Structure 1
Amino acid sequence: MSSKKLRLSVLDQSPIRKGATAIQAVQETIQLAKFTEQLGYTRFWVAEHHNTGILAGSSPDVLLAHLAAHTSTIRLGSGGVMLPNHSALKVAESFRMLEALAPGRIDLGMGRAPGTDRVTASILNPSNQFREQDFVEQLADLQNYFHDTADPGTIHRSIRAIPQVDTVPAMWLLSSSGQSGLFAAHFGMGFSFAHFINPVGGPQAVKLYRDRFQPSDDLTEPEANMAIFLFCSEDPEKVVQFKAVMDARFLQFEKGVITPLSYNDVKDVVYTEAEQDRIRYNRQRVVAGSPTMVKERLNVLAENYDIDEIMVVTICEDFDDRLRSYGLLAELFELEKLS
């Protein structure tokens, strides 16, 4: 890995800052996509979450269509479409339409988790049984829809995903465990490990994916990346405040409470020993510090994972600080700006 230049990409969840609105959050996603394209980031993925007051991104395909109209070079994708919430045909048609809008620039990143609680997931898709085999069958159906290769002996034989286009979105499986990496290897898809969700076992999952990879019509060699929460700043106090808010946000989420937080909300909180243990664990999900520290840490992670691409998730109180963090990263890794 050390001989390769590290590529950087963005995973954006359209976070709703305290005191801001969902409309502002979506507008910030659009601004961030245009900004990071100019800086030379490789891809920009948007997430799918439901029934939450802190993340506005519920419909990746709709948002991606808008982003496609406001960008020209950066790859756009889902990080991810939560496949059990949808029919395979509907996903295939949505992403074929995106390919028609931005040929050769679309990534279909998919996850097994619902991106919400079980009750909401059951309402999104009342037929969802949360079975692994259903997920595997959806992956096979998707490949067939994209390539018009349905088995003549199945119910899918006369069904085509519309519109019919010449290009196929790059398919990726997203996971915070090794299981989906095995599915990605079997189907010949890309694999993205969510280190920002689970900081343990990622390098091993990526290695297993590479070892088991079977080439497909879409991908002849394994392609992997990892995603991590990150904040880069030249101001040590801003780093301290970012860490404090992230510490509280993780604990809040683990307790089933989800509300926007600011530094003023958490600066005087005293944590129990058990909470401090969780904070130490959760800080493995985050890289936050000065430019020098951040660059060193990302290079170590890239080497440990044996990858040449890292996806960055940045959520902070001030949108300008968020933009500045992505700008500093681009400078650190000498990304090639658009002319």
Structure 2
Amino acid sequence: MNLPNSLEAQILTLQQEGEKAISSANTLESLEELRINYLGKKGKMAGVLRSMGQLSAEERPKIGSIANLAKETLQAFIDRQRQTLETNKIKAQIESETLDVTMPGIFRPQGKIHPINGMIDRALDIFIGMGYTVASGPEIETDYYNFEALNTPLDHPARDMQDTFYLPDGNLLRTHTSSVQIRYMETEEPPIRVVAPGRVYRRDNIDSTHAVVFHQLELLAIDEGLTFGDLKGTIKVFLQAIFGDLPIRFRASYFPFTEPSAEVDLQWNGRWLEVMGCGMVHPNMLKAVGYDQDIYTGFAAGFGIERFAMVLHQLDDIRRVYASDLRFLKQF
């Protein structure tokens, strides 16, 4: 006889208990657990209502109405608490991600171009403006590309001037970027105008003006009717773009891959300074890549990047550019 009152009391007790628990939930995860615990199919409220089967037909509607009201109340509490928690979560995220624009920024020193890279970039800008294409090649070369195709056979005395580092497999570290010219000519047909910057290696004695690893930039032009006058004009335009309108002279010299050959001097601070070598491409080089020597002529020139950088920046020791000394590098 006391079953209806007992069920009603249990339902109201669960409602009060649930309201308190839901109001105390501090995370969305714990709130969802409470919803399942009280309102789920296997939850506490469903467990109490299983006893309704023992009620009379007249008592069931009344208890059912009380149970529905309790579930709706708990659901309303859950919805309200969920909205509160979601609002707080968004607010906390906004606060944590807020940028205070009045705070001083974090200073990060700006990087600078190394004098070697800066010199390469400057030279390339000039040659690209003259219509040249930039090419590159491997630093580990074969004897053929580094010497033989450049008219320097095994017994040639010029090899002594470019003694290099040899590898166990017979290859070597390239002594100049002229090997790039051969590789480029093998794949391209005239007319060509190409410039090849890169790192090279020689077994020099290290001092203030020599290093075993340094950088070169070489240019090559092949076309019909090119003359030494074209070579002189190209070099003059380039050097004046780098150093200004200074006196330039060409001295007869020798390179196995050019004929005739010349050293180029620049009058700098009252004295003549050797800055690059040049010459007309030797016919044997044209023959090595399959170009018709009766149709095409060409010229080539090359210089050391470090030498140009040392002259422009008035450096007294080539080793300074390799030392990674910030006191030195911050000057550029």
Same fold (TM over 0.5): no
Q: TM-score range by the shorter chain?
A: under 0.3
More strand by share: 2
Q: Could you say which structure has the greater relative contact order, defined with CA pairs below 8 angstroms and 6 or more residues apart?
A: 1
